Amino acid sequence: MSALLRILRTLRRTLLQAVPTILGIIILNFFLLQLAPGDAADVMAGEAGSATVETMQALRERFGLDNPVLVQLANYLGNLAQFSLGFSPRYGMPVTELIGQRLPGTLTLMAMALAIAILIGLTLGSLMAAFSGRLPDRLLSILALLFYSVPGFWIGLMLIVLFSVTLGWLPSGGAGTIGSSYTGFAAIVDKARYMVLPATSLALFYVAIYARLTRAAMLEVKNQDFVRTAYAKGLSPVVVTVKHVLRNALIPITTMAGMHVGGMLGGAVVVETVYSWPGLGRLAFEAVMGRDYTVLLGILLLSSILVILANTVVDLAQAWLDPRIGEQK
Amino acid sequence: MSPASSRLLEVENLTVRFGSADPVRHLSFSVDRGETVAVVGESGSGKSLSALALMRLLPRNAEVPNGRITFEGTDLLKLSDRDIRKVRGREIAMIFQEPMTSLNPVATIGNQIAEVLRLHEKLSRKEARARAIELLNLVKIPDAEKRVDDFPHQLSGGQRQRVMIAIAVACKPKLLIADEPTTALDATIQAQILELLDELRRKLSMGLLLITHDLGVVSRWSDRVVVMYHGDKLEELPTSELFSPDRHPYTRGLAQASIRLEDGVHYTSRTLSEIRVVRDADGQNDYQIRQPVPRDLPPVANDDEPILQVDGLSVTYRTRNRENRALDKATLTLAKGETLGIVGESGSGKSTLSKAIMRLVNAESGSIRFQGQDITSLGPNQLQPVRRDLQMIFQDPFGSLNPRKSIRDILEAPLIVHGVRDAAERRQRIAQTFDHVRLPLSAAERYPHEFSGGQRQRIGIARALILKPSLVICDEPVSALDVSIQAQILNLLVDLKRDLGLSYLFISHDLAVVQYISDRVIVMKDSRIIEESDHKTIWRQPKTDYTRALIAAAAGGETRNRALAS
C-alpha cells in the first residue's frame, strides 16, 4: 500500500473522531466555568467601585448573563454555528477578533519552543545513548535532570538576568522593537531576537523529557536484531544510528510531542507573563481574573482544536514513519 | 588449484572473553572456497559468538585476547574499524536466525537490499533498485517488481529470510555465514531456504559457514562438521562420518538423542538416549550417554468413555473489519491414557484448537466434552473445578514463568486458587511434584532466571502437574530446547504419563517428535483437520499430499549424506 493512501486513511479516521470530541469539550467547559463564583458583571462592578443593583442588572441583561444556564449554552452554541465566538463584555470587542490578535504570537512561540525542544532533545538523547553509561551520558543526564526540575519562570528570570541585564545581548521582554520600521529579513531577525529567550525557557523542560525519551528509545532499538543486520552490511556507526536506529526511535517521541502541545499552552501563561509576550496564555489568565467566560470559552475551544490538530499531525507523522500504522487490518 | 589458494578462511586459536569468562576457547577451523562447513552445538556452546567474532560484530564488552582469523591472507582481527567495514557485507556476509526481527520494520525491503549495493558497489539509486529486483528474483520472491516496495511486515517469515539472503549475497561475498537460518521456520520452508542457500553457494562459488543445532540440517547440507560444547571444539569430521560409531562420545550422544523421522522410533519401543556431561577430578569433561531402561506401559483403554471429545469446533477471530476463521469444524476424540499428536505449520490452527479446548477462547459453534461433561459454554465458576483436571505446558520456558516469583510461589498459586488451604499439605504436594519432574527440593526457594532452559521446562511441567490433572495439553513443549534436553523432557513426559495416568494432547511442528510420542496423529492445515491416523499408518501411508510434503521435507533432511555414505 502506498504511503499516501495510508496517510489519507489515518486522516479520515482522525477527523471523524474529532467532531464529537470538540462538541463534548465545549459543553463540558461551559458547565465547568458556571461552577466558578461570580461573573463578568461582578468584576466590572467591583473595578468601577460604584455600582447599583440596577446597573448590574443592566450589564447582565446586555451580555445575556441573566438568562438560565441552558439558554446561555444554547445561545453560545447558536453563535458557534455561525462561526462566532461571541462578544467579550470586558474588552468590548468580538472574541474572534481578540483571539485573532493574540494567536499568532503564541503559535510562533510554541512552534519555536517545540522545535528547539525536539532538536536539542534528540541531539542530547542520541549523544547520551551513544555514550551510555560513560561520562558524557552521566553529565548530560544531570543537565537533563536540572532542566526537568527547575521551574520555568525561574529559568526565564535567570535567562533575562544573564542575557539581557548582564550581557545585554537580547531584549528582556515584548514581541518586537516598538516604533521600529524594519521590513523583510531585518523584521524577521528583530522578531527572532525577542523570541529566543521566551522560547528557550519554555523549551528547556521539554528538552529534558525528549532527551531522556530519545536515550531510552534508542538504547532499546539498538539491541534489536535489525541493527545487527545493518552493522553486518558494513555500514558505519553514524549511518546505522541515523538511518536505522533514530527513525525507529522517533515513533514514541512523536507521540509525546503531540501530547505536549496542550501542556505547552499551559506553560505559555507563565513564560508570556515573565517576558510580557502578548499571547493567548496571558489573555486566558486575564480572562479568568475578569470572569470573562466568553473569552475563556473561546480560548479553551481554540486550544482544544489546537491539541486535536497536533494529535492529527502526530498520527500522520506516525503513519509516515511506521508502515505498520494505518494499514487495513 | 593448489591447496594453499583454495583456503578461504582460517581460524586459529580464537578465544572470546567476557570479563572473566571465556565462552569460546582456542577454536581453530577452516573453510575452503565453495565449501560448506557446519558448526554444530547446543545453546551455550559458543557457536554464534564465534560467528560474530569472524565479522568483528561481538558486543562491546567482549574481547578477543588471542587468536587469528585469516581471510584471504589478511588477519581480520588486525584490520582497522574502517577496513573491516569494507569486508562486512562485501567479502563476508551474514544471515541470522530471526527473520521476523532481522529486517528494519520501517524501511522497504527494496531499500534495505539497495543500501548494501550503494555502500559497497557505489551504485546509483536507480541501478541499485534494478539490482534489488534482480536479487529478489534470484531468491525466488514472486512478483519481485511489485514486492520490492513492500515493508517487512507484509512478508511471511520464509520470505523475510529470503530477503535477508538477498541482502547477504547482493555483493557476491566469498563467505556466507548463516547463523541458524531456518530454526524459526516451518519444516517445508526450512527445506526450501536451505536448498536456496546451497544453490546460491554453487552459483556464486561462496564458502558457506552454517551454524546450527540441528543434526538433520548438518547431515544434509554440509561437507564438514565442527562440533562444539561449552566453548570447546570437541572434534572436526567429514559429514559422512557424523553417524558412525567411533565418534567423540558427545557427537554420538547428540546423534542418538536427536530423533529422526525415518528411524521410526516410538516411545513404546525404546527410550531416548540422554547425554550427561560430568566434570571429573582434573577438570576434564566426561561425556556419558545414558539410555534409560524402558518400562512397560499399560495399553490405552479403548472401551472406556473418551476423556475428551471435540465435535465440529469452530473459532473465529473478529476485528473491526475482518473475520478470521482460525479453527474450522474440528472433530477429535482422545481416550484415557492416550497421546494425541497434532502436527501443523504456523497458522494451521493448532494453537487455537488447544486454546479453545482450554476454554481460553470461546467457540463459535461445536462442542467440547471433557470427562463426560459438556464444557463448551460453562461460566467461570463452573469452569474452575474443570480446570484442575485440564492443564497446559507452554512452549517458551523463559516467558511462561513470572520472573519476580520464586518457584515455590509459582507452584503454590494454583494450589491456593483451587482451595488447598493447609500450608503443610501444599509443601508436601510441591515436594511430591518436584520428585516427579526430578528437580531438587532446594529449587523451590530460587527464581526462574537461576535455571537453565531445560530446568525451567521441568518447572513448567511441575506447575501443570501439581493439580493432578488428567489431561495435559503440551503446546510445543520441546521446541525451544536443545536436542539433549529435548530427549530428557520427552523421556520425562513418557514416565509421567505412565506414573500418573495422564493423557496428552501434544502439539508440535516437529514431525519426528510427534512420531516418537504419539499414539495417534492429527494433521492440521489452514484451520482444518485434514488427516487423522494411528502413529504407524500416518508415516507409512499418508492420505493427503500435504502430509506427504511435510514428511518429505522433514525426512529428506537426513537421507542424502547417509545414502552417500553407504
Q: Which residue of A has its CA nearest to B176?
A: A232
User: Which amino acid is residue B20, in one-letter code?
Assistant: S
Q: Considering only CB atoms, which chain B residues are within 8 Å of A235? A: 85, 89, 115, 119
Contact yes or no for B105 and A322 at CB 8 A: yes
Contact yes or no for A233 and B164 at CB 8 A: no
- Give ∠ CA A149-A154-A159 in degrees, rounded to 5: 115
A22-80 per-position pLDDT tens digit: 888 888 888 888 777 777 677 777 776 677 777 778 777 777 777 777 888 888 888 88
First to last CA, chain A: 12
Residues A136 and A25 in one domain: no
User: Which amino acid is residue B33, in one-letter code?
Assistant: R
Contact yes or no for A233 and B322 at CB 8 A: no
Distance in angstroms (rounded) separating the CA atoms of residues B55 and B92: 7
Residues A198 and A322 in one domain: no
B62 backbone φψ class: left, alpha, beta (φ>0; ψ -120 to 50): beta
Residues A55 and A65 in one domain: yes
Distance in angstroms (rounded) separating the CA atoms of residues A180 and B13: 78
- A132: in domain: yes
- A100: in domain: no
For residue B505, give the nearest of B363, B383, B346, B392 by alpha carbon.
Answer: B392
Instruction: Indicate whether B1 pLDDT > 60.
Output: no
SS (H, E, C) A101-115: HHHHHHHHHHHHHHH
Binning pLDDT at 50, 70 and 90, where does residue B565 land?
very low
Q: What is the pLDDT of residue A159?
A: 83
Q: Which residue of A has its CA nearest to B173?
A: A233
Q: What is the pLDDT of residue B37?
A: 94
A214-234 per-position pLDDT tens digit: 999 999 998 888 999 999 999
Residues A228 and A120 in one domain: yes
Binning pLDDT at 50, 70 and 90, where does residue B209 land?
very high
Q: Considering only CB atoms, which chain B residues are within 8 Å of A232? A: 55, 57, 88-89, 93-94
Instruction: Indicate whether B237 pLDDT > 50.
Output: yes
Task: Yes or no: say if B503 and B338 are a contact pair by the CB < 8 Å rule.
Answer: yes
Q: Dig out the grid coordinates for B58 from the structure.
A: 561481538
For residue B215, give the nearest of B153, B261, B152 by alpha carbon.
Answer: B261
Task: Yes or no: say if A157 and A135 are a contact pair by the CB < 8 Å rule.
Answer: no
Binning pLDDT at 50, 70 and 90, where does residue B298 land?
low
B184 touches chain A (CB under 8 A): no
- Give ∠ CA B222-B223-B228 in degrees, rounded to 5: 70
> Does residue B510 sit in helix, strand or coil?
coil
Residues A85 and A172 in one domain: no
Contact yes or no for A322 and B106 at CB 8 A: yes
Contact yes or no for B96 and A228 at CB 8 A: yes
Q: Considering only CB atoms, which chain A residues are within 8 Å of B153? A: 323-324
Instruction: Indicate whether B300 pLDDT > 70.
Output: no
Numbered residues of chain A with Cβ closer than 8 Å to any chain B Cβ: 224-226, 228-236, 243-244, 247-248, 321-324, 328-329
Give B283 or B45, the one with higher predicted confidence.
B45
**Phi, psi angles (nearest 5°) of residue B230:** 50, 45
User: Which amino acid is residue B337, in one-letter code?
Assistant: G
Q: What is the pLDDT of residue B564?
A: 38
- Domain positions in chain B are 3-91+173-261, 104-172, 338-348+380-535
Q: Chain A closest CA to B169's CA: distance in Å?
A: 11
Residue with cell 460453562: B378
What pTM, to 2 d.p., does this model score? 0.78
Task: Yes or no: say if B68 and B77 are a contact pair by the CB < 8 Å rule.
Answer: yes
CATH number of B338-348+380-535: 3.40.50.300
Residues A231 and A144 in one domain: yes
Distance in angstroms (rounded) separating the CA atoms of residues B530 and B342: 11
Residues A82 and A119 in one domain: no
> Does residue A181 sit in helix, strand or coil?
coil
Q: Which long-range contacts (CB under 8 A, 24 or more apart) does A225-229 make?
A: A225/B96, A225/B98, A225/B101, A225/B102, A226/B101, A226/B102, A226/B103, A226/B104, A226/B105, A228/B57, A228/B96, A228/B102, A229/B96, A229/B102, A229/B103, A229/B104, A229/B164, A229/B167
Give B427 or A315, the one with higher predicted confidence.
B427
What percentage of chain A exceeds 90 in pLDDT?
Answer: 8
Strands (DSSP E) contained in B365-513 are 365-370, 373-374, 390-393, 471-475, 503-508
- A98: in domain: no
- A41: in domain: yes
Q: Dig out the grid coordinates for A169 from the structure.
A: 545581548
Q: Domain B3-91+173-261 in CATH: superfamily?
A: P-loop containing nucleotide triphosphate hydrolases (3.40.50.300)
Q: Considering Cα of B64, then B209, then B272, then B544, what sign does the dihedral take? A: positive
Residues 6+ apart with CB under 8 A from B99: B157, B158, B160, B161, B163, B164, B184, B185
Instruction: Indicate whether A136 pLDDT > 80.
Output: yes
Q: Considering only CB atoms, which chain B residues are within 8 Å of A328? A: 321
Average pLDDT, chain B: 85
B377 touches chain A (CB under 8 A): no
Q: ipTM of the predicted structure?
A: 0.78
Strands (DSSP E) contained in B476-519 are 503-508
Binning pLDDT at 50, 70 and 90, where does residue B380 land?
confident
Contact yes or no for B57 and A224 at CB 8 A: no
Domain range enclosing A313: 1-90+291-329
Contact yes or no for A329 and B322 at CB 8 A: yes
Residues A154 and A281 in one domain: yes
Residues A18 and A120 in one domain: no
A93-94 and A87-88 beta bridge pairing: antiparallel
Residues 6+ apart with CB under 8 A from B423: none
Segment (H or E) for B233: strand B232-238
pLDDT, average across residues A106-133: 88
Binning pLDDT at 50, 70 and 90, where does residue B535 land?
confident
How many separate domains does chain A show?
2
Give A263 or B54, the one with higher predicted confidence.
B54
| A224 → closest Cβ in B93, B101, B107 | B101
Q: Which residue of B has its CA nearest to A324?
A: B153
CATH classification of the domain holding A138:
1.10.3720.10
Instruction: Indicate whether A328 pLDDT > 70.
Output: no
Binning pLDDT at 50, 70 and 90, where does residue A2 land?
low
B13-24 per-position pLDDT tens digit: 999 998 888 889
B446 touches chain A (CB under 8 A): no
- Give ∠ CA A54-A59-A62 in degrees, rounded to 5: 125
Q: Chain A closest CA to B76's CA: distance in Å?
A: 14
Q: Measuring CA to CA, how many Å separate B290 from each of B257, B271, B277?
A: 10, 10, 11
pLDDT, average across residues B376-395: 88
Residue with cell 470586558: A90
| B321 → closest Cβ in A226, A322, A328 | A328
- A226: in domain: yes
Instruction: Indicate whether B113 pLDDT > 90.
Output: yes
Average pLDDT, chain A: 82
What percentage of chain B exceeds 90 in pLDDT?
Answer: 24
Within 10 A of B521 (CB to CB), how many other CB atoms are there? 25
Q: What is the CA radius of gyration of chain B?
A: 25
Binning pLDDT at 50, 70 and 90, where does residue B561 land?
very low
Instruction: Indicate whether B562 pLDDT > 60.
Output: no
Contact yes or no for A234 and B106 at CB 8 A: no
| A324 → closest Cβ in B90, B105, B164 | B105
Distance in angstroms (rounded) separating the CA atoms of residues A192 and B233: 68
Task: Yes or no: say if A276 and A283 are a contact pair by the CB < 8 Å rule.
Answer: no
- A101: in domain: no
Give B404 or B557, the one with higher predicted confidence.
B404
Greatest CA separation for chain B: 78
pLDDT, average across residues B76-100: 89
Burial of residue B529, with CB atoms counted within 10 A of its CB: 0-12 exposed, 13-18 middle, 19 or more buried: buried
Instruction: Indicate whether A170 pLDDT > 90.
Output: no
Residues A114 and A155 in one domain: yes
Instruction: Indicate whether A102 pLDDT > 50.
Output: yes
| B98 → closest Cβ in A225, A232, A234 | A225
The conformation of residue A176, written as its DSSP 8-state character, comes to S
Residues A110 and A237 in one domain: yes
Within 10 A of A10 (CB to CB), how many other CB atoms are there? 19
**Do B3-91+173-261 and B338-348+380-535 agree at the fold level?**
yes
B539-554 per-position pLDDT tens digit: 888 888 888 888 887 7
B322 touches chain A (CB under 8 A): yes
pLDDT, average across residues A164-191: 74
Within 10 A of A305 (CB to CB), how many other CB atoms are there? 14
Q: What is the pLDDT of residue B331?
A: 92
Q: What is the pLDDT of residue B10?
A: 92
Q: What is the pLDDT of residue A329?
A: 42
Task: Yes or no: say if B197 and B176 are a contact pair by the CB < 8 Å rule.
Answer: yes
Residues A117 and A220 in one domain: yes
The conformation of residue B152, written as its DSSP 8-state character, comes to G
| A248 → closest Cβ in B55, B96, B106 | B106
pLDDT, average across residues B74-95: 91
Burial of residue A36, with CB atoms counted within 10 A of its CB: 0-12 exposed, 13-18 middle, 19 or more buried: exposed
Binning pLDDT at 50, 70 and 90, where does residue B101 land?
confident
Task: Yes or no: say if B325 and B302 are a contact pair by the CB < 8 Å rule.
Answer: no
Residues 6+ apart with CB under 8 A from A25: A300, A301, A304
Task: Yes or no: say if A152 and A160 are a contact pair by the CB < 8 Å rule.
Answer: no
Q: What is the pLDDT of residue B9?
A: 92
Q: Dig out the grid coordinates for A191 from the structure.
A: 522578531
A137-164 per-position pLDDT tens digit: 899 989 888 888 888 778 888 888 888 8
User: Which amino acid is residue B512, in one-letter code?
Assistant: A
**Residue B236: strand pairing partners:** B226
B463-506 per-position pLDDT tens digit: 998 988 999 999 888 887 788 888 888 888 888 888 888 899 99
For residue B414, give the nearest of B429, B403, B397 by alpha carbon.
Answer: B429
